[in-house]
Amino acid sequence: MPISPNFTSILSKDWEINFTQCTPSGFLKYTDLCNILQLTAAAHSEIGGISFYDMQEFHQAWVLSRMRVEITDLPKSGDTVTVTTWINSLENSRSVRALEMYVNGKKIVGCETYWAVFNTQLRRPEALALPYEHFELFPDKRATIEGFSKININYEKEAVFEKTVYLSDLDIVNHVNNVKYLEWCLDHVEPKRILKQQVQSFEMNFMKELSLKDTVIIHESDTEDNSATTFSITKGEKTCYALQLNWKK
C-alpha cells in the first residue's frame, strides 16, 4: 500500500479492552498487552508504507528481536486505552520502536522494541527494501526508564516443561509467534503473582526461530533475592528465547 495521506511519524490509536483479553481478575493479560502493542506498531507501519504486505513484495517481514515492557497498572475489561508509538531509530535491517499505553490520560505502560527485517524465503536478516526516509525519528524520546538488554541465562536452571510446537503456535511468517513464547512461560508462574499484578516489568530476547513440530524445553530460575525470575526455551543445545520477569517489591 502507498503511504497514507494521514501518515504521521507519531501515531496514537485507541483500543477497547474486552473480556476475552482478561484474566479471571478482570485485568488485561500480559500476552494480550503485547498483542495490542504489536497491533499498534503494525498499524503505524501500514500507514507508513512498510507493512507486512508491502514488505512481502520483496519477501520481507519485520520480526521482533528484543522487547522490554514496564508496567505501572493494567487496564481492565471495558477500559479504552490509547497506545502511542514512534520510531527511535531505523537503519538498514534494524529498527527500535517505542510505545506507551494510557488510560484516561495516565501512562500505565511503557515499551521499547527492537525489530529486524527478515527475508521470509531465505530465513535470514537483510536490509529493508522499501523507502522509509519519510519517518521522522525520535532518538531521545524514550518510552521506558531502562532500555532492553541481553538477558543473563543461568544454564544450571531447572527444566520445567517439554513442549512441541503445534500449528496454533505459528503466525503469518510461519514461525512461533512472539507472544506464544511468553504464554508458554507464564503458564509456569504461580497464578497469584499474575492475578495480583506483581509483574513490574518484563524483558524478552528472541534468538532463533522455532517451526512446526519442533520440540523444546522450558527452563526456569530465580535470583537469590527473588526479585526476578528468568525463563529460557531451548531446542537441543541452542537457546531460542529468554524471558526475565521483574517482580514488584
For the stretch 47-76, pLDDT in tens is: 999 999 999 999 999 999 999 999 999 999
Retrieve residue 140's grid coordinates: 531521545
Residues 142 and 171 in one domain: no
Residues 74 and 177 in one domain: no
The three-class DSSP label of residue 14 is strand
pTM here is 0.94
Residues 45 and 131 in one domain: yes
Domain edge (last residue) among 129, 148, 167: 148
Residues 107 and 136 in one domain: yes
Domain residues for 230? 149-248
Residues 118 and 68 in one domain: yes
44 contacts 93 by C-beta, under 8 angstroms: no
Inform me whether the pLDDT recorded for 45 exceeds 90: yes
For the stretch 124-159, pLDDT in tens is: 999 999 999 999 999 999 999 999 889 988 777 778
Inform me whether the pLDDT recorded for 90 exceeds 80: yes
Residues 196 and 110 in one domain: no
The set of residues, in sequence order, having a beta carbon less than 8 Å from that of 168 and lying 6+ positions away, is none
The pLDDT of residue 1 is 63
Domain edge (last residue) among 148, 175, 195: 148
Residues 45 and 122 in one domain: yes
Residues 135 and 162 in one domain: no
Domain edge (last residue) among 99, 117, 148: 148
Residues 106 and 160 in one domain: no
Residues 18 and 111 in one domain: yes
The pLDDT of residue 43 is 96
Number of structural domains the chain divides into: 2
Residues 38 and 144 in one domain: yes
The domain that holds 212 is classified in CATH as: 3.10.129.10
The set of residues, in sequence order, having a beta carbon less than 8 Å from that of 200 and lying 6+ positions away, is 70, 71, 246, 247, 248
- Closest to 82 in 3D by CA, of 95, 100, 98, 60: 100
Residues 162 and 219 in one domain: yes
242 contacts 231 by C-beta, under 8 angstroms: yes
